[in-house]
Chain A
Amino acid sequence: MSVQELEQLFQAKVDQEIKIEPKDWMPDAYRKTLVRQISQHAHSEIVGMLPEGNWISRAPTLKRKAILLAKVQDEAGHGLYLYSAVETLGTTRNQTIEDLHSGKAKYSSIFNYPTLTWADIGAVGWLVDGAAILNQVMLCRTSYGPYARAMVRICKEESFHQRQGFDILLQLSQGTPEQKAMCQDAINRWWWPSLMMFGPKDGESTHSDQSMTWKIKRKSNDELRQQFVDMIVEQAKILHMTLPDPELKWNEARGHYDFGEIDWVEFWNVVKGNGPCNKERLQARRDAWEEGAWVREAAAAHAAKRKDRQAQQVA
């Protein structure tokens, strides 16, 4: 069969909502797009542990500490589901991790912002996880089977993340004037970076939209961003907090909230490595990998020893 015929068959399957599985034929560009996107997603889960891990030892109560630990552990699990999905596309785990450490692979820029106060942990859960969930719910229906299955599992666990974040802010919003101010300050700092999580505006590209055709993605950046704004504006009312955008107002004709322009210069700056914490985050990952080398070696040695001992017992 010619490549053109294979591509037609492939697209016909995608159009019929038949999932593509690892051993199925797929266009090289489809594979490449998936490897890039899923590995970026995996790296985001892993790097995303750093800003939150920053507060595990300083959480205000034992309950909050236990919850935050569980959440960070979930993120590690999510990274693993996604690394496994990348592996099904024929890339090794080590190569994927190497690409993160060398700076070749990206992760979500949101994690290059610092978590300065305890309220930031609430804002990260509410806004950052809230934005991630909208994307991930969409990805539950992505055309590549292993990615879709990983997303279903992640979505099940993720809603606890957003709720615990809101719960932190809700408590602060009902607290002392200082606690209320801390809550508002965290929201002010995380609002715009959260909107940036959805990526550049749709209008920036006039080219045909391959990821949509392949059904890797099913909603555009701007659609998801609008969905997020509409959702968060209502939720913010419950907190009695404001969102730092004077242009934010209900548009009766559109049936959506209008909002101000994102600072795209800042967006590309952070993507290019010049955000507040880019270097620190990457260094923390490299250090973790290198300082963990002896653990990996010891585990391999222990496994070999155990295997020998079992062989001797059999003999």
Chain B
Amino acid sequence: MNLRLTKYYYGDIPEEKTGGGTAASSSNTEAGWPLWEVFIRSKQGLDHKHVGSLQAADAQMAIENARDVYTRRSEGISIWVVESKHIHASNPDDAGAFYEPANDKVYRHPTFYDLPDELKHM
């Protein structure tokens, strides 16, 4: 692939135009905190919904950070956090075959059944 990205957009200054500071910092040597996925219930009666992720040393800190980051405007009444490494996901490359069994079962949908118009409350 031979792409030349020569058009610079807002917030996208190319690296070759760099200048200024060159001092190296040693930040990369320390071990980072684990990543956590955050789920929030916005109000009683609704599901917890994935809202994003953050880093924290442990679960309690993750919950406190999630409160500060994701609920500053009363967006939630309950928070779940789970370490990202514990999330297992289906493979998007296999999506076709994986979900195929449902595709030919249109009779699972109520609209499959053509019933008389006189029939009420169904």
Write the residues of chain A forming the contact surface with B, with a CB cutoff of 8 angstroms: 3, 7, 21, 23-25, 27-29, 33, 36-37, 40-41, 44, 70, 73-74, 77, 80-81, 84, 87, 92-95, 97-98, 101-104, 106, 108-109, 135, 149-150, 153, 157, 197-200, 202, 204-205, 207, 209-211, 217, 221, 224, 268, 271-274, 278-279, 282-283, 286, 289-290, 293, 296-297, 299-300, 302-303, 306-307
Besides the known contacts A135-B11, A306-B58, 5 further A-B residue pairs in the complex with CB atoms under 8 A apart: A40-B12, A80-B54, A97-B27, A204-B7, A272-B17
* B92 and A299 contact, CB distance less than 8 A: no
Q: Which of A77, A272, A307 contacts B19 (CB 8 A)?
A: A272
B77 within 8 Å of A (CB atoms): no
Residue of B nearest to A278 (CB): B20
Write the residues of chain B forming the contact surface with A, with a CB cutoff of 8 angstroms: 1, 3-15, 17-25, 27-28, 30-33, 35, 51-55, 57-58, 60-61, 68-69, 72-73, 89, 91-93
Q: Given that A84-B52, A293-B30, A303-B61 are contacting pairs, would A36 and B12 also be in contact in the complex, using a CB cutoff of 8 Å?
A: yes
* B61 and A98 contact, CB distance less than 8 A: no
Chain B residues with CB below 8 A from A87, complex form: 35, 53
**A296 nearest CB across to chain B (Å):** 7
Q: Can you show 8 pairs from A to B with CB atoms below 8 A apart? A: A29-B1, A77-B69, A102-B21, A200-B8, A205-B6, A205-B8, A221-B8, A279-B21
* B1 and A27 contact, CB distance less than 8 A: yes
Docked complex Cα distance between A81 and B31 (Å): 21
**B112 nearest CB across to chain A (Å):** 27
**B84 nearest CB across to chain A (Å):** 9
Chain A residues with CB below 8 A from B6, complex form: 205, 207
* A103 and B23 contact, CB distance less than 8 A: yes
* B35 and A23 contact, CB distance less than 8 A: no
* A290 and B25 contact, CB distance less than 8 A: yes
**B36 nearest CB across to chain A (Å):** 10
* A273 and B57 contact, CB distance less than 8 A: no
Docked complex Cα distance between A7 and B20 (Å): 37
Interface centre among B6, B10, B33 (most CB of A within 10 A): B10
Interface centre among A25, A197, A274, A299 (most CB of B within 10 A): A299
Chain B residues with CB below 8 A from A286, complex form: 23, 25
**A280 nearest CB across to chain B (Å):** 11
* B61 and A23 contact, CB distance less than 8 A: no
Q: Given that A29-B1, A104-B18, A211-B7 are contacting pairs, would A37 and B92 also be in contact in the complex, using a CB cutoff of 8 Å?
A: no
* A3 and B1 contact, CB distance less than 8 A: yes
**B88 nearest CB across to chain A (Å):** 12
Chain B residues with CB below 8 A from A202, complex form: 7
**B22 nearest CB across to chain A (Å):** 5
* B11 and A37 contact, CB distance less than 8 A: yes
Q: Which of B8, B54, B58, B72 contacts A303 (CB 8 A)?
A: B58
Q: Which of B1, B7, B11 contacts A205 (CB 8 A)?
A: B7
Docked complex Cα distance between A41 and B19 (Å): 18
Chain A residues with CB below 8 A from B3, complex form: 29, 210
Chain A residues with CB below 8 A from B24, complex form: 102
Docked complex Cα distance between A145 and B7 (Å): 23
* A24 and B92 contact, CB distance less than 8 A: yes
* B72 and A94 contact, CB distance less than 8 A: no
* A77 and B12 contact, CB distance less than 8 A: no
Chain A residues with CB below 8 A from B69, complex form: 77, 80-81
**B91 nearest CB across to chain A (Å):** 7
Q: Given that A303-B58, A306-B60 are contacting pairs, would A81 and B25 also be in contact in the complex, using a CB cutoff of 8 Å?
A: no
* A23 and B13 contact, CB distance less than 8 A: no
